[in-house]
Structure 1
Amino acid sequence: MRALALAAALALTGPVAAQTLDDPEGTILGTGREDGSETGFRDWVTGFRAKALEAGVPAATYDAAMRGAHYLPDVVARDRRQSEFTKTIWDYLDVAVSEDRVALGKQALAKQADLLDRIEARYGVDKEVVVAIWGLESAYGTWRGDVPTISALATLAYDARRASFFEGQLVQALKILDQAHVAPGAMVGSWAGAMGHTQFMPSSWAEFAQDFDGDGRRDIWGDDPADALASTAHYLAKWGWQKDLPWGLEVKLPADFDYDQTTERVKKPVADWRLLGVQPMAGGDLPEGPEASILLPAGHTGPAFLIFPNFQVIEHYNLADAYVIAVGHLADRLRGGPTIAAAWPRQWRALTQDERKELQALLAAAGFDAGGVDGRIGPKTIAAVKAWQKAQGLTPDGYPSPDLLEKLR
């Protein structure tokens, strides 16, 4: 019982359709249907049939799959709640890279050692990174989701808030069924339509899934994780993964560091960061490698990371800094690396969506363009925060803390 509860708690924390590069605009599209119902859904299924057939879905496949599809109100509710997400990065990492997850990951590495070595050799992606994604997405295969994928995707397409994206995902999922890569009853996953051991959306499956075991099917759903783990390695390789180079590492910044330099947009050779006094938190020298950036995911009072191009590769799986750091740090822990040394500013909570909007409005009123008032803290909002902090004589780290909002008020 404890194992099942742990699996559910650790699983499906990674990419959903609103966060991946498959759907970079995520939560800001459309308004959704106010009259969502099973009756309206059935009418939509009838109306969408011609569009699906025109896209290449055979009529028999569409009719059989959609006959068993149903409107899922909980899916719509969860989709609309995403913009209210208010977990801090340290709260996220407490679960994502817990001691339990590290221990289970080491067991998974040992159990699948031969498979993972072969995948690493073929695709050139470090096996610990593949296993870290596996751990975040399905608790190493123990919790792959139980929502019928066709119903989830059809519900989200019918809801209309992001109809175009989910219509495309639904068509691709129907093609997967038509090609018999998975039995209809076994095509289950997350509420957003992500599937299998490493939670691929149907479009990612179409482009990146692999038949690693050679059985003629690209099966990411079954108990054997071979195809899913190979697919994940293939995904990362295609986006430019550089083997044996770090995703990033925790660093110590000098007292006189220029915090205007802390953004992914500022890239410097490692030698330049070394000359500026940046040092590995664990001691020693900074690794040689390509250009790197300094990232402060919790502002200047929290940990600092020197991040490399592999960081951006993981971003193709999920855009959230918290997710990328979780994957990279979990992979490091699976290799026997240390925990993050610097303390997080745990006295702070995350801003609510209304507070994020208020922050953007206050910045705009003060003459600092935050890129709109939408509650999304993107590069323009961070740049506006930095500019305001600098004008106030504060450390320009760009972090939207509750204290900063209070100062703006």
Structure 2
Amino acid sequence: MPTNEEWNKWINKISKESLDNGISQKTIELELSNLKPLEKIIMRDRCQPESTITFKEYIYYRLDKTRIYKGKIKRDEFIDELNLVSNRYNIQKEFILSIWGLESYYGQNQGKSKIIPALTTLSFDKRRSDFYKKQLLASLKLIDLKIVDSQNLVGSWAGAMGQVQFLPTTFFESAVDFNNDGNIDIWKTEEDVFASIANYLTSLEKAPWNKKESWGIEIIPPKNIKQIYDSLKKTNPKGCYAVKTMSIEKKLSDWSKLGFKKIDYSKFINQDINARLVAPDGLDGRMFLVFNNYKSILYYNCSHYYALSIGLLSDELKK
């Protein structure tokens, strides 16, 4: 924990930077002047457990019957709004529902941490100071522009907000006032929530969304998978860990020739679709061939466990 002197120096420094970035003096004084560092936030950031959970264990808590059932109830409740957003952004509604369901349990779990104190504490810590400072400045701007008031600016301990769990910088990039009421509300207005998710997924130049394709399919590998796997790896892979660990790209027809089959042993429907192999738990676990839309999901959260859960939940919510 910082000393009082260290903390006060930091508050003075971040206050000046906030002013230089166009935040009003009034907002700076109201939000930063009486803040204290939050030890529990520092502990959460520094003591995140290493991931030892298997994919089977991960999806057990995310593809449970209750989440699927509630998703279908929400789909029927908001079918008109979902159809409007789906048509406007050219994206299947089940993917919007799936991200909504995993990020905040359909709006039920948005986090209870006050964003400004949490981000001020995290931005002080040198481990990821620059990243969290950007989020802090963006969150102060949210208040300064009267998009949301300080009391309602709550979310996860790491600064993710609303039913979509956007970081403050992502809010300015992708959040949408879909119902045209003059407010961008990702906390309480479902139309804005759906449109913001859709806008994020479909506006990625590096991974454009294709409504004609789904996310991927579970497959059975050939018996010689361990012998051929090295030949399927990327050379000089770039991107986050999940992107790096996907295989090279091949058409489904080529995967079929190598002996890959759908889990029901039926033929791949569209042989010309490009796909990559993903094996989240290694060659002895479940395997999937994923399409280009899968990469867009990884931009939301670059984790195979997460993206596969989104895909599998979307399959259930389509039924």
* Same-fold call, TM cutoff 0.5: yes
Between 106-115 and 189-198, the greater mean CA deviation after superposition: 106-115
Q: Corresponding residue for 1:279?
A: 261
2:85 and 2:198 in contact (8 A); partners too: yes
1:175: how far off? 0.8
- State which of 302, 323, 332 in structure 1 corresponds to 2:285: 302
Q: Deviations over 1:119-147 (max 9, x none)?
A: 10111111111111111111100111110
Query: In the aligned structure 2, how far is the partner of 1:99 from the partner of 1:333?
Result: 10
- State which of 288, 293, 297 in structure 2 corresponds to 1:314: 297
The SS at the match of 1:283 is coil
1:229: how far off? 1.7
- State which of 177, 189, 198 in structure 1 corresponds to 2:164: 198
Q: Could you say if the C-alpha distance between residues 110 and 151 of structure 1 is closer, same or farther in structure 2, counting changes exceeding 3 Å?
A: same
Q: Corresponding residue for 1:74?
A: 40
Q: Could you say if the C-alpha distance between residues 265 and 195 of structure 1 is closer, same or farther in structure 2, counting changes exceeding 3 Å?
A: same
- AA of the residue aligned to 2:121: T
1:39: how far off? 6.2
Q: Deviations over 1:226-274 (max 9, x none)?
A: 2122101000001211113121110111213322226524111111112
1:36 and 1:159 in contact (8 A); partners too: no
The aligned runs of 1:242-261 (5 Å cut-off) are 242-257=210-225, 258-260=228-230, 261=232
- AA of the residue aligned to 1:305: F
Q: Percent identity?
A: 34
Q: Could you say if the C-alpha distance between residues 37 and 126 of structure 1 is closer, same or farther in structure 2, counting changes exceeding 3 Å?
A: farther
TM-score, normalization: structure 2? 0.90
1:313: how far off? 0.6
- AA of the residue aligned to 1:130: I
Q: Deviations over 1:342-400 (max 9, x none)?
A: xxxxxxxxxxxxxxxxxxxxxxxxxxxxxxxxxxxxxxxxxxxxxxxxxxxxxxxxxxx
Q: Corresponding residue for 1:362?
A: none
Gapped regions of structure 1 (runs ≥ 5): 1-34, 337-409
Q: Could you say if the C-alpha distance between residues 44 and 241 of structure 1 is closer, same or farther in structure 2, counting changes exceeding 3 Å?
A: same
Query: In the aligned structure 1, how far is the partner of 2:63 from the partner of 2:224?
Result: 32
- AA of the residue aligned to 1:123: Y
Q: Over aligned residues, Cα RMSD in angstroms?
A: 1.6
- State which of 60, 82, 97 in structure 2 corresponds to 1:116: 82
Query: In the aligned structure 1, how far is the partner of 2:60 from the partner of 2:286?
Result: 14
2:247 and 2:277 in contact (8 A); partners too: no
Q: Corresponding residue for 2:178?
A: 212
- AA of the residue aligned to 1:277: G
Q: Corresponding residue for 1:372?
A: none
1:270 and 1:291 in contact (8 A); partners too: yes
1:128 and 1:335 in contact (8 A); partners too: yes
Q: Could you say if the C-alpha distance between residues 71 and 85 of structure 1 is closer, same or farther in structure 2, counting changes exceeding 3 Å?
A: farther
2:176 and 2:196 in contact (8 A); partners too: yes
Q: Corresponding residue for 1:269?
A: 251
- The answer on 1:237 being equivalent to 2:202 is yes
Tell me how many residue pairs correspond in the alignment: 301
- AA of the residue aligned to 2:63: V
Q: Deviations over 1:193-222 (max 9, x none)?
A: 000001000111111110011111211122
Query: In the aligned structure 1, how far is the partner of 2:297 from the partner of 2:265?
Result: 26
Query: In the aligned structure 1, how far is the partner of 2:131 from the partner of 2:86?
Result: 32
1:211 and 1:227 in contact (8 A); partners too: yes
Q: Could you say if the C-alpha distance between residues 38 and 332 of structure 1 is closer, same or farther in structure 2, counting changes exceeding 3 Å?
A: farther
- State which of 79, 96, 104 in structure 2 corresponds to 1:130: 96
